Amino acid sequence: MDLLFLDLDGVLNAHDYDWMADRGPHHLNEGMCRRLDRMLGATGASIVLSSAWRYHIGMDRIEVWLRERGATRARVVGRTPMGEEMGYELGPIPFANGHKMWLGEHRGREIQAYLDRQPGVRGFAIVEDAADLGGLEHRCVRTKSDVGLQDEHVDRLIALLEGS
């Protein structure tokens, strides 16, 4: 099984909205979701959410939103562990559901923790705009938060997974 660790803000949208507002499908750019769909079709990869959205929106709902916005092949199979599940101090931004958001400094460790618990992962790629990934940077395709996922990013993600 191939996995794509997916950030959302700055990947499937551009930072042209209030990122603390209630998130919904309208925050996912249709063109960027269609690009994601092209990558999923070419690789057969499944999605693991690494986005901060996982703190307050369920995986099933995000999968529906991705499909509604153009990523019709989206299959969300998991999410990376949240900060409190890994036992580290969390950032200052509380959400209504009781979770607190960290600001990205642990994302690489969270992805590695997910991988360590998953037998059968053949290959993986990460698409991210900002968070520190530490030793996993070589598996990452970086987007720019002001433009999001572009065709060249999709091509690099496909190449990463085909070369796994």
Q: Where are the domains of the chain?
A: 2-162
> Can you say how many angstroms the Cα of residue 147 is from the centroid of all Cα atoms in its chain?
16
The domain defined by 2-162 carries CATH number 3.40.50.1000: yes
Percent of residues, the chain, with pLDDT higher than 90: 59
Structure tokens at 105: 């400094």
Give the least confident one: 14-23, 91-100, 115-124, 125-134.
91-100
Distance separating alpha carbons of residues 110 and 73, to the nearest angstrom = 25
Give pTM, 2 decimals. 0.87
Per-residue pLDDT for 21 more than 60?
Answer: no
Distance separating alpha carbons of residues 37 and 71, to the nearest angstrom = 4
Per-residue pLDDT for 19 more than 70?
Answer: no
Residues whose CB is less than 8 angstroms from the CB of residue 21 and which lie 6 or more positions away in sequence, other chains included = none
